[in-house]
């Protein structure tokens, strides 16, 4: 498989703060990499360095075999980029803006018109085609940004939060679009929506505080935490702390960890050093102690849990 | 090379149209024409002078342009940085200088439009008497060159901020210094304490000196070089600053 994006040892400091710390990433044709991380983790900064907008302090980035700093024109010609927030010239109608972007990318005449027509249809912009961008809703503006990134049918796509601000139908369409074009391209998408990663990405790269903390397929990421050594229970009571105290002596020496609190119920993990005994037995024991416990079962982590786990650990 | 030229022209086209995308351009042109007219007819007494030339008009140009060109140049980069579109521009497969040049030429062409709208005055002068049209052509050439220099400086300064108002004020101050450098008032103040070469250097920077010579009909190499190198130098610094400031 051809590697279309190759970033090596990217580092960027802003004053005293290291925003990106030694990030390496390589993406082959056909891969869709989901770029994840908490706010301020350094996703956008990394993308800016890969696209040649921001010069790294150290490290290199290659796009389609061309170094983005030594041979910027060749590298950028193969790249489509949606910057964070989907910036665009607000005073321009959608058609003019996309024409401008296409021309800057070297498209002319029939070829340009074909691409414009395709974008109007595929990204569904026909309705707003001659409206000024500043008069569009946030979702439409985001779509104009996507169209701009796709106008020259680039081999490499870097999309910074492409589905931010889209309604559920639009998100669904966007995912379909990415899936459709993926086989011939290398795509890097950053997102905060984890189900999206499971739906479209062949790989998930998680960064925290500027460092890569996980890089695997979504399935493997989840699998790596899925060792069957924990039991998950749900407590349906607002007095969670006292309930947890009462569970402790009944849990065979498990380590208790609160996973999340939703709508007055709390998800608690009982972690064991080894595979736990029969979950049934534990369930019966807890219930006979008259504790408000529901849904006792072996813990099958979700991507969300893995994300929280790898990004909140102290590095 | 053809690719570079074509990206200059694509940027030029977008920027030139952008001036007319808002009513601002129209307001601008009206204000310029009104001020130019008021200065020429009322302050300088165009008719009372009784001579068929446009000196009364050209005299005011440095002072009008001092305000006008920072206003034309202020949005060129400040707005690009504020809205984040600079990130799109700088990830296009074109050399940054082509973008700098395209933007500059668009602003300059807009100034050209403003100047073209003053030609009724030229026609009037010809109708009233028989002026030396060669001198008037030289006057327009000088005015246009000076506009280019002021605009290049304004564009350069607009890379330093995301705020158009700050860009405007800073550019107006720098241009004011350039215009006044040759005034006896300023030179006299320096002469008292500064070494001779410094006084000469300040005087040589004077836009007014060069401008006055060209509006008298003297199209001379030093004047052309003066304005030409101001433009080129400012655009080079502009290209450098865009790269330096784009991501901040
Ligand atoms: N131009 C800049 N000057 C100073 N600090 C910056 C600059 N750009 C980014 N940072 C800092 O670098 C860190 C990483 O920012 P970045 O935008 O890459 O995060 P992110 O992962 O994209 O976050 P989000 O999910 O919120 O988009 C942040 O702490 C941010 O404040
Ligand atoms: Mg970001």
Task: Supply the ipTM of this predicted assembly.
Answer: 0.89
The better pLDDT of the pair B109, B197 is held by: B109
**Contact residues on chain A for B87, CB-CB shorter than 8 A:** 48, 53, 81, 83, 87
Indicate which residue's Cα is closest to atom 5 of ligand 1.
Answer: A14
Q: How many CB atoms lie within 10 A of CB B111?
A: 23
Instruction: Report the pLDDT value the prediction gives residue A235, as an integer from 0 to 100.
Output: 81
**Stretch A83-109: mean pLDDT, rounded?**
95
Within 13 Å and on the Cβ side, how many CA atoms surround A3? 11
DSSP string, B27-84: HHHHHHHHHHHHIIIIIS-HHHH--SSSHHHHTTHHHHHHHHHHHHHTHHHHHHHHHS
Q: Three-class SS of residue B104? A: helix
Q: Which of the four pLDDT bands, split at 50, 70 and 90, describes residue A105?
A: very high
pLDDT at A248 over 80: no
Instruction: Report the pLDDT value the prediction gives residue B184, as an integer from 0 to 100.
Output: 72
Q: Which of B22, B87, B93 sits opposite A87 (nearest CB)?
A: B87
pLDDT at B207 over 90: no
Nearest listed ligand to the Cα of residue A83: 2
> Average model confidence (pLDDT) for chain B?
88
Instruction: Report the pLDDT value the prediction gives residue A232, as an integer from 0 to 100.
Output: 80
The CA-based angle B221-B226-B232, given to 5 degrees, is 120
User: Does the distance separating the beta carbons of B3 and A100 come in below 8 Å?
Assistant: no
Q: Which of the four pLDDT bands, split at 50, 70 and 90, describes residue B52?
A: low
User: Does the distance separating the beta carbons of A104 and B10 come in below 8 Å?
Assistant: yes
Q: Which residues contact B154 (CB under 8 A, 6 or more apart)?
A: B69, B70, B72, B73, B74, B76, B107, B167, B168, B171, B175
Distance CA A160, CA A146 (A): 10
* Ligand 2 ion: residues within 5 Å (CB): A 43-44, 84
Instruction: Report the pLDDT value the prediction gives residue B185, as an integer from 0 to 100.
Output: 73
Q: What's the predicted TM-score (pTM) here?
A: 0.87
Rg (CA), chain B: 19
Instruction: Report the pLDDT value the prediction gives residue B15, as an integer from 0 to 100.
Output: 95
Q: Which of the four pLDDT bands, split at 50, 70 and 90, describes residue B181?
A: confident
Q: Which of A95-99, B64-68, B204-208 has the highest mean pLDDT?
A: A95-99
Distance CA B196, CA B190 (A): 10
Compute the nearest-CA separation of B127 from chain A (Å): 42
Closest C-alpha among A151, A133, A154 to residue A142: A133
Residues of chain A with CATH 3.40.50.300: 3-222
Q: Which of B6, B13, B91 sits opposite A79 (nearest CB)?
A: B91
Express each pLDDT in A138-194 by its tens digit.
989 999 999 999 999 999 999 999 998 888 988 998 899 999 999 999 999 999 988
Topology, domain A3-222: Rossmann fold (3.40.50)
Read off the tokens for A22. Answer: 């030694």
Q: What is the CATH number of domain A227-299?
A: 3.30.70.60
CA of A45 to the centre of ligand 2 (A): 7
The better pLDDT of the pair A117, A288 is held by: A117
Instruction: Report the pLDDT value the prediction gives residue A253, as an integer from 0 to 100.
Output: 73
Determine if ligand 1 sits within 6 Å of the CB of residue A99.
no
Q: Which of B85, B92, B247 sits opposite A89 (nearest CB)?
A: B85
The kind and range of the H/E element at B159 are none
Determine if ligand 1 sits within 6 Å of the CB of residue A43.
yes
Q: Which residues contact B187 (CB under 8 A, 6 or more apart)?
A: B181, B199, B202, B203
**Stretch A295-305: mean pLDDT, rounded?**
78
The answer to whether residues A306 and A225 touch, using CB atoms and an 8 Å cutoff, is yes
pLDDT at A315 over 80: no
Determine if ligand 1 sits within 6 Å of the CB of residue A110.
no
Determine if ligand 1 sits within 6 Å of the CB of residue A39.
yes
Instruction: Report the pLDDT value the prediction gives residue A50, as an integer from 0 to 100.
Output: 96
Instruction: Report the pLDDT value the prediction gives residue B49, as an integer from 0 to 100.
Output: 67
Tokens 């459709």 -> residue: A180
Instruction: Report the pLDDT value the prediction gives residue A182, as an integer from 0 to 100.
Output: 92
Compute the nearest-CA separation of B84 from chain A (Å): 5
The number of residues making up chain A comes to 315
Residues of chain A with CATH 3.30.70.60: 227-299
């Amino acid at each position: 498989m051809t590697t279309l994006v190759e970033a090596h040892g990217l580092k960027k400091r802003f004053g005293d703060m290291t925003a990106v710390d030694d990030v390496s990433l390589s993406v082959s044709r056909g891969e869709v990499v989901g770029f994840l991380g908490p706010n301020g983790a350094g996703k956008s900064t990394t993308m800016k360095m890969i696209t040649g907008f921001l010069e790294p302090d150290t490290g290199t980035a290659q796009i389609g075999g061309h170094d983005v700093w030594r041979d910027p024109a060749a590298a950028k010609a193969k790249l489509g980029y949606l910057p964070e927030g989907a910036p665009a010239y607000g005073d321009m109608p959608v058609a003019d803006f996309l024409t401008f972007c296409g021309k800057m990318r070297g498209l002319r005449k029939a070829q340009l018109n074909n691409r414009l027509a395709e974008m109007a249809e595929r990204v569904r912009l026909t309705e707003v085609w001659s409206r000024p961008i500043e008069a569009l809703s946030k979702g439409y503006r985001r779509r104009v940004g996507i169209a701009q990134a796709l106008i020259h049918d680039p081999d490499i796509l870097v999309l910074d939060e492409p589905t931010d601000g889209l309604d559920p139908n639009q998100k669904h369409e966007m995912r379909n679009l990415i899936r459709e074009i993926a086989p011939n391209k290398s795509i890097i998408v950053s997102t905060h929506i984890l189900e999206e990663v499971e739906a479209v990405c062949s790989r998930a790269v998680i960064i925290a505080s500027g460092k890569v903390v996980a890089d695997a397929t979504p399935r493997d990421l989840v699998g790596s935490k899925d060792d069957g050594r924990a039991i998950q229970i749900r407590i349906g009571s607002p007095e969670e702390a006292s309930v947890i105290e009462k569970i402790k002596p009944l849990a065979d020496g498990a380590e208790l960890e609160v996973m999340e609190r939703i709508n007055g119920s709390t998800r608690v993990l009982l972690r064991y050093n080894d595979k736990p005994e029969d979950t049934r037995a534990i369930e019966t024991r807890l219930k006979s102690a008259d504790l408000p416990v529901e849904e006792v079962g072996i813990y099958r982590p979700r991507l969300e849990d893995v994300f929280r786990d790898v990004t909140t650990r102290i590095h | 090379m053809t690719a570079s030229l074509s990206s200059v022209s694509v940027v030029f086209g977008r920027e030139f149209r952008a001036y007319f995308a808002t009513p601002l351009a129209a307001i601008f042109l009206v204000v310029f024409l009104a001020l130019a007219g008021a200065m020429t007819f009322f302050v300088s007494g165009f008719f009372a002078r009784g001579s068929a030339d446009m000196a009364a008009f050209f005299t005011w140009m440095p002072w009008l342009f001092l305000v006008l060109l920072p206003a034309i140049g202020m949005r060129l980069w400040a707005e690009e940085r504020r809205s984040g579109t600079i990130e799109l521009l700088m990830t296009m497969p074109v050399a940054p200088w082509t973008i700098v040049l395209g933007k500059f030429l668009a602003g300059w062409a807009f100034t050209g439009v403003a100047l073209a709208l003053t030609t009724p005055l030229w026609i009037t002068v010809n109708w009233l008497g028989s002026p030396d049209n060669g001198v008037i052509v030289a006057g327009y050439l000088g005015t246009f060159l000076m506009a280019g220099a002021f605009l290049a400086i304004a564009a350069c300064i607009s890379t330093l901020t995301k705020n158009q108002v700050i860009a405007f004020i800073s550019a107006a101050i720098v241009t004011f210094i350039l215009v006044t450098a040759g005034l006896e008032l300023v030179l006299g103040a320096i002469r008292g304490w500064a070494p001779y070469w410094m006084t000469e250097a300040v005087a040589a920077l004077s836009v007014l000196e060069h401008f006055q010579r060209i509006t008298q009909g003297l199209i001379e190499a030093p004047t052309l070089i003066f304005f030409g190198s101001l433009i080129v130098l400012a655009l080079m610094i502009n290209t450098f600053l865009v790269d330096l400031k784009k991501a901040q």
